Structure formats: C-alpha cells, structure tokens
Amino acid sequence: MTSVELYGLAPIITLAIVGSLALLLEVVGIPIGARRLGPRTHIAFVTVLGIAVAMAFAVASWRDACDVKDAAICVGKGLTMFGGQMMLDRFGIMITVMACVSALIATALTVHYMRARDMERGEILGLICFSAAGMSGLGMSTDLLTLFVNLEVLSVGVYALAGLDRDSGRSAEAALKYFINGAFAAAILLMGTALCYGATKSTSMAALGRMVLATGDPNHALAMVALGLVISGIAFKAATIPFHAWVPDVYDGAPAPVTAFMAAGVKAAAFAALVRQVVPLLPATGPADATFIQVATVVCVGTMTLGNLAALGQRRIKRMLAYSSIAHAGYVMVGIVTILAGRREAVAPIAYYLLAYAFMSLGSFGVVGFLERREGRGNTFEEWSGAARRYPAAGVAMAIFIFGLAGIPPTAGFIGKFTLFTEAVRAGLVPLVIIAVLNSLISVYYYLRVLVFMYMKEPDRDLEGAGGPWLTVGLATAAAAVLALGMIPSRYLDWAQSAMGLFAGR
C-alpha cells in the first residue's frame, strides 16, 4: 500500500479501528467510575471521538484531492488508488463526510433510545462505525469489485442493526426482509460485474461505460446487460422503483435510530455509486443516449409519484417517512436525469441535496425514536396528538424537519429542490420539473398533517418521550444544520460544485 493509498483510506481505517475498539470495550466491561455516566456511555464517547477523527482526516484531504492545488473549485481528477479501483476526489470526500455525520448523529440518537429499552450494547456502536466505513469506501469506488466489497461491508452492519431489538418481532422481520432482499441485490450486482469482465476484460466502471457507448463492438450487447444488472443492484440501496418494496417494512420495523442511519447514510452512499456509474455513460460532449434518458425519466417519475401517493394513506409516522424517503430518491433522480441530458452541473445540487436530506431524515427519525415505544407503539398520528404541547423542544425540531422535507423555505430542503429543479429546467426537462413540483405539493399535505396532530390535538394520556442530553445534542445539531444550509447555502453549494471534478478529462 502506497502512502497515497494509506492517506486516502485514513477515514475508513479510522472508522474500522473505532468499530473494533467499541467491540473490545464491550467485552472488557465498564471501567471503575464510568457507571455514573450510564452503562456503556464511555463507549459512546470513544465512538464519537473516533468518528470525529475520521471526519477530520477526510476534511484534511480536501485540497490534496484536487490536481489544481490553488483552485477554489476542483477541476482535477483526484488521486488514483489501487490501480484505479478507487478515487480520492472531492466527491468521494463529501460522501465520507456525510457518512461520518450520519454515524455521529445516529450514535447520539442511539444512546438514550437503547437505554430506555434495556438494549444498550457496545456492538451497536461498532456496527455503526463499520457501516460508515463501507459508505465511505462506496463513495470512492470506481471499480465494480471495490464497489461490491464496500457495499457488503455497509450492508452486513445494517442488517444486524435492523434486528438489534431481539425481543421485537417487528425488528426481526425487518432484518430478515432486508437481508433476503439485499442478498438478491448483491447477487444481481455480482452477476453484472462478471458480465462486465466478460465484455471488457475489466471490472472498471469507466471500461463498462466505454463498451456501452461502443455500439459497433460485438460485446456491446453483453455490456448493456451488465450495465442493467449493475444499476439494478445499486438501485436497491437507493430505493428507486422497482426496487423499493423493502423500504416501508424495514424502516417501520427497525429501531428508529437505525432507520435514521439507513435513510441518511445508506441513501447518500448508494446515489454516490450511481453517479459514478452514470458518468462514464456520457460522451465527451453532449447528452447520453436517448434510451438512458428515457429509462431514467420513467424511474424518476415513478419513484417520486409512488412514494408520495403511498405516503398519503399511511397512519404510522415511520411508514409515512419511509414512503417519503422513496419520494426523495425520486427527487435525486431528477438530478441523475439532468446529468444524462448533458447538464453536468447537476452533480453539485445532487451532492447538496444528499447532505440536506441526511440531516432532515436523521432529525425526523430521531424525534420518532424519542416518542416511539416497544413494538412500534407511539408511532401513529393519533398517538402523537399534542406531542408539541407536552414536549415543546421536540415539536419545534420536528417542525423544522417537516418544513425541510416538504421543501418550505428557509430550510435546506427548499434550496435543495430549487437547485435541482433549476438545473433540470436549464437542461430542457421542463415537463419533468412540473411533475416534480406537483409531487412536492402533494407531499405538503401528509407532512403538515404531522404538525396538525402535534400542535392542534389534545395530548394523548399515554404519550411519553425517552430522551436525554445525547438525543438533545443530536436533534439540535440536525435542526441547526437544516436551517444553516437553507439560510446561508452559498458556501455549501460552492463545496458541492467541487463534485464537477468527476468529469475532469472527459
């Protein structure tokens, strides 16, 4: 391993070490003097510190990941690692930062949630770190083999996290469904990788893209099949149609902090992999093949429409937010379609939107975790009646997250949708934007319905929240980020613009 590769993998290595340390501390036991902080709180402190160090490594490599050292916006290719199998560029660094942020807030949300249910175990925090390491590696993968390995590292941890409530049948069902569907998706991705090697004698995403564009090559048809299988495997994690069916049951059955982690980090990593596979499909200039644009448009429209319409009829908050996450995957797909239409600048809004959605989903599911009780109780609209009256701080936080998810200013959700839709209009995708705006209007109804029950109904006598300082810090951080990204977006959009380095040299 060269110094460049060691440097690029520093965040991943750090996360892996911290995860292993969390497991070791669980075995060693609680040290003398640590019990007054609460069982295993010392493991949470070590985990948070380690994740912060990993994020610091990522931030430190920001300027080094650009060929143009003094440029405000990176236009270089980044640093190649492992013979081109991974790339340390600013797009990958942003995904690493998102993974670390998701892991940090998920850790904060987890401590009191698990303590209130007598499920506090150190391996939970270790699994969060291992999954975050997989997310980081997935964001830097430019080869199908490294993509598969990192995807499985991510997935195995999340499978276990989904089923960590051992006394809950809903949690066990969520883990089983996620595992079975994830195993099929992994097999499909691996088959696509094998066919890619058969067509190109390589597992490189760039090589697959070149072969797909080479319509006169005898291996073109095989490459097209390989591409379809690879995209299908990635789309499962991104939760786009027709690979979305697992989302409602898994999100609803998994513990709320785990759902938050899945909705934020896993989705960001999946779309990072999807963007990296889409980039090689573009010619040096101009749009991609019309067939790619049409297929992506159908997936985009179907995903956002199905997600929003299904969310309208839900009575459980987590299932509503689960279908909402499918709809948001559709909004991100607007950016994918825009890129395929030749508007490469849409990469920046995608990166910004993924960061904004990470904070909004972490916060909203964090409030769900605060009010949720055993076996999914405390999770219906009726059971949330008067929650904002009894817990004003949680009500204010949820209002911020709901406004963000609905795309209401001055939140990050509004800026994210505005920038995505603006780039789509510039690419000539006006009908697609109209459909997306109509879907956003539909979503306002079921989002605001949450606030109606929280603020305008009499409190439910069984309403009870389980929180503490860790949860408060996590929710406050997410809420502040949603407002900051919305009210002063220019700096963050400039950072996201660095993702344009993906197209350098094309």
Task: Label residue 82 by pLDDT band (50, 70, 90).
Answer: confident
What does pLDDT average to over the chain? 84
pLDDT digits (tens, 9 = 90+) for 65-79: 554 443 444 445 667
| Per-residue model confidence (pLDDT) at position 331 | 94
Q: Indicate if the alpha-carbon torsion angle 70, 74, 75, 76 is positive or negative.
A: positive
| Per-residue model confidence (pLDDT) at position 291 | 87
| Ramachandran sector of residue 82 (left: φ over 0; alpha: ψ -120 to 50; beta: rest) | left
Across the strands, what pairs with 452?
none
What's the Cα-to-Cα distance from 492 to each of 51, 131, 161, 405, 487, rounded to whole Å? 21, 25, 31, 18, 11
pLDDT digits (tens, 9 = 90+) for 127-136: 999 999 999 9
The domain total for the chain is 1
| Per-residue model confidence (pLDDT) at position 134 | 92
pLDDT digits (tens, 9 = 90+) for 480-500: 999 999 888 888 888 888 776
Task: Label residue 437 by pLDDT band (50, 70, 90).
Answer: very high
Round to whole Å and give the CA distance between 504 and 497: 13
What's the Cα-to-Cα distance from 141 to each of 41, 274, 284, 336, 494, rounded to whole Å? 34, 11, 21, 18, 23
pLDDT digits (tens, 9 = 90+) for 214-271: 878 888 889 899 999 999 999 988 889 888 888 888 888 888 888 888 888 888 888 9
pLDDT digits (tens, 9 = 90+) for 293-350: 999 999 999 999 999 999 998 888 888 999 999 999 999 999 999 999 888 888 889 9
User: Do residues 138 and 394 make contact, with C-beta atoms less than 8 angstroms apart?
Assistant: no
**Whether residue 368 has pLDDT greater than 80:** yes
| Per-residue model confidence (pLDDT) at position 337 | 93
| Per-residue model confidence (pLDDT) at position 68 | 43
Q: What is the mean pLDDT of residues 356-368?
A: 91
List helix spans (H) across 341-468: 347-371, 387-390, 392-406, 412-426, 430-456
For residues 84 and 39, which has the higher predicted lDDT (pLDDT)?
84
Radius of gyration of the CA atoms of the chain, in A: 22
pLDDT digits (tens, 9 = 90+) for 24-81: 887 776 555 455 445 567 788 888 999 999 999 888 877 665 544 434 444 456 677 7
| Per-residue model confidence (pLDDT) at position 220 | 85
Range of the domain at 307: 3-503
